[in-house]
Amino acid sequence: MAVPTITGNARLLLGSAAIGTGDNGAVQNNQDLDGNDRIDGGTVDMGAYEYNDLIFANGFD
Ligand SMILES: [Ca+2]
């Protein structure tokens, strides 16, 4: 059986529909795959990475 693989960059971009649309109740780690806070802006983002805009490092996203 083939195992799915991912190549490339799966980080979210500004304007992504995945930003702020995750389920905070499903979060199992305090950090994303980059080691950043898993919940930024009050609601987790969908996917393995939390969107982090350095301009809004104070919590807005
Ligand atoms: Ca977020």
Does the model's pTM come out above 0.85? Answer: no
Q: How far is the CA of 23 from the centre of ligand 1 (A)?
A: 10
- Residue 41: count other Cβ atoms within 10 Å of its Cβ: 18
- Count CA atoms closer than 13 A to 7's CA, side-chain side: 1
Distance (angstroms) between ligand 1 centre and the Cα of 9 equals 18
Q: Using DSSP, state whether 8 is helix, strand or coil.
A: coil
pLDDT of the residue at 8? 86
Q: What is the mean pLDDT of each run of 10 residues along the chain (61 residues)?
A: 77 94 96 94 95 65 50
- Per-residue confidence (pLDDT) for residue 16, from 0 to 100: 95
Residue 33 contacts residue 48 (beta carbons within 8 Å): yes
**pLDDT for the residue numbered 60:** 54
Question: Domain map of the chain by residue range?
Answer: 15-61
CA quadruple 8, 38, 18, 6: dihedral, nearest 10: 20
User: 1 C-alpha to center of ligand 1: Å?
Assistant: 35
